[in-house]
């Protein structure tokens, strides 16, 4: 009887050990392709931090597509123009990468952006502090597509002037959070 229990116990330990050790090892390591994609993503992030677009050509495909709230921006040159626009209009912007993960062809980064906007292109006129998820698709180590997802409260900061207009025109009962209220002019 003791031999049966001992054999069963050893068998269970072996099965549990084989199930957990291999899975944990493979899921925590990035493949060579994913590491290459993460490195390319770092080059793009560095371009936005510094304004230097010289590394963009090596990590962004010619037919790159940036899916923005203003429509799709096509081509690598549109990304370079976006980097230059940001540095012309948000000179003190700081970026902090909170988390980053590669999964096959995709890299996502949870980013925190802070700085002072000048009121152009929907940015608030004054200080901002926002989080966004930046999602990029890679092929052969080059970015081919990009999406950005912003937290709803942060997006409302950019939409505050439109909501102010709607409040006046249609008597909407929208009450923005304090940061948004500071951007809005007082109701007449």
pLDDT tens-digit readout, 40-68: 999 999 999 899 999 999 999 999 999 98
The pLDDT, as a whole number, for residue 169 is: 54
Between 22 and 84, the higher pLDDT residue: 84
The pLDDT, as a whole number, for residue 171 is: 53
When mean pLDDT is compared across 58-62, 120-124, 148-152, 162-166, the lowest value belongs to 162-166
The fraction of the chain above a pLDDT of 70, given in percent, is 64
State yes or no: pLDDT of 92 exceeds 60: yes
The pLDDT, as a whole number, for residue 89 is: 81
Neighbours of 9 (CB within 10 A): 10
With a threshold of 0.95, does the pTM exceed it?
no
When mean pLDDT is compared across 75-79, 97-101, 136-140, 181-185, the lowest value belongs to 181-185
Assigned architecture for domain 28-150: Roll (3.10)
Distance of CA 151 to the CA centre of its chain: 11
CB burial string 65-101: b at 16+ within 10 A, e below: bbeeeeeebeebeebbebbeebbebbeebebeeeeee
181 pLDDT band (50/70/90 cuts)?
very low
- For the chain, domain boundaries: 28-150, 153-188
């Amino acid at each position: 009887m003791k031999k049966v229990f001992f054999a069963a116990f050893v068998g269970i330990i072996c099965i549990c050990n084989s199930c957990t050790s291999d899975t944990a090892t493979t899921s925590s390591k990035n493949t060579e392709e994913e590491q290459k994609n993460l490195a390319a993503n770092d080059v793009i992030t560095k371009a936005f931090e510094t304004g230097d677009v010289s590394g963009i050509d090596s990590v962004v495909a010619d037919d790159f597509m940036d899916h923005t709230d203003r429509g799709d921006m096509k081509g690598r040159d549109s990304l370079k123009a976006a980097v230059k626009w940001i540095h012309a209009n948000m000179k003190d912007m700081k970026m902090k990468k909170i988390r980053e993960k590669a999964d096959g062809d995709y890299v996502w980064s949870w980013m925190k952006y802070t700085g002072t906007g000048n009121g152009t292109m929907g940015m608030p006129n004054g200080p901002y502090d926002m989080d966004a998820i930046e999602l990029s698709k890679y092929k052969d180590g080059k970015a081919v597509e990009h999406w950005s997802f912003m937290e709803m409260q942060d997006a409302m900061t950019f939409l505050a002037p439109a909501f102010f207009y709607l409040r006046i025109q249609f008597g909407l009962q929208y009450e923005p959070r304090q940061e948004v209220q500071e951007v809005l002019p007082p109701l007449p």
